Amino acid sequence: MELSAKIGAMSDPARRLSAALAALLATASATSQGALQNAPETPDPLRVTTFNIRYGKADDGEDSWTHRKDHVVTTIRDRAPHVLGLQEALRFQIDYLEEHLPGYGVVGQGRDGGSKGEWAAILYDRERLELIRHGDFWLSPTPDAVASVGWDAALTRMCTWAVFHDGESDTWFRVWNTHFDHRGAEARAESGKLIAARVADSPLPDLVLGDLNCGEDSAALEALRGAGLRDTFRLAHPDAEEVGTFGGFRGRTGGAKIDYVLADGGFEIVSAAIDHRSFDGHDPSDHFPVHADVRFVTTGPRPSTPRLGPPVAGLEEAADELLPQRLAAQPTQQGELLLARELERDGYLYRLVPVRNELVEVLRSPIQDEPQWQQVAALPARGDGRPSLVRVQPCDELFVVVQRDGKTTAFPVLWE
């Protein structure tokens, strides 16, 4: 049955919903075609940097934070990374960078919880990247325990991660940023295994940034390579010898490379470098920043990306009429309440689950006998409580419905 015929056979609320849906799908299709025609053939590379900016309260004399903070800002501003992983950053240092680099968002927390202690913060270019979801865990046998110390580590260590949507390439990816212990060899090896296991379970392209406090032949790097991660610098410079990244404020380039931008097979490496820039003989930090330019690689069937579309005319009124029936959780001709919804697209299973914090979580799994669900998105459905999922029949399209200030609004779930 054609969509127009279906609409004619339905009751008024369903007719309004389906008519609105038909208009929305037509608009979305035209918009998508226009976007495809106007999109650049090859998006600009994603610029990525890891930078240990040195603990801001250290008494380093002429190299103390007060004397070098503007050099750090200049180094970052001139590089203009889209993704920046910081190590050893204290809250006041991050505040200074935010003030002088206003185009960046920040995710993370201090290793002692909240704003306390050093951060492994991720800064991101808000113009190019959309933050989808983020979190933290600690490098210990109890990674969800805040400020937990692992194995033989001398200090508390943690990892901050974030999922982003890159608007230029229309690709989702995950970034992990960390700082391994400087003394505990077992802690470094186990930290590598912990992050490697999480990367191996990730359905997205992955970047791991950090000061790992260990060289290229270490057990930690072996574990990370086992998860498919590659050292971007080594791929770009396989024969380089002066690769030390801890200069100690003295410009030393010998020694081990302990700072890394690692990328899995979802990325093509365009270029990479260790930044030895100094300012009148003074380095911006005791570590050199490490840069990489990467592009996304698309292989195999591409998963769909869900997003919430804007409500269109007639949608809100129809949603108001359907609300009592949804709350009663009784199937109707117009729609039915769904506590969760599973559907199949492009060789993957998707599960949409409304949650208490005004989000709809999107989980994805390959189609197999025992699905292995991984969260890939969080649709922000801001309202006064838990959102509802409504399936509109007979079109079988999904809407996310929220209430805000006594008004009910329905947003269509669009797939790209």
Over range 16-41, report the average pLDDT: 51
- Residue 372 has what pLDDT? 75
Copy the structure tokens of residue 351: 């599960």
Domain 46-296, CATH class in plain words: alpha beta
- Residue 400 has what pLDDT? 74
Copy the structure tokens of residue 221: 């790097």
pLDDT per residue over 330-342, tens digit each? 333 344 445 566 7
Residue 254: closest CA among 234, 240, 268, 265: 240
Copy the structure tokens of residue 378: 């969080």
Query: Per-residue pLDDT for 311 more than 90?
Result: no
Residue bearing the bigger pLDDT, 86 or 29: 86
Q: What stretch(es) of the chain map to CATH 3.60.10.10?
A: 46-296
Distance, in Å, from the CA atom of 326 to the CA atom of 315, rounded to the nearest integer, reads 15
Distance, in Å, from the CA atom of 118 to the CA atom of 179, rounded to the nearest integer, reads 10
- Residue 358 has what pLDDT? 63
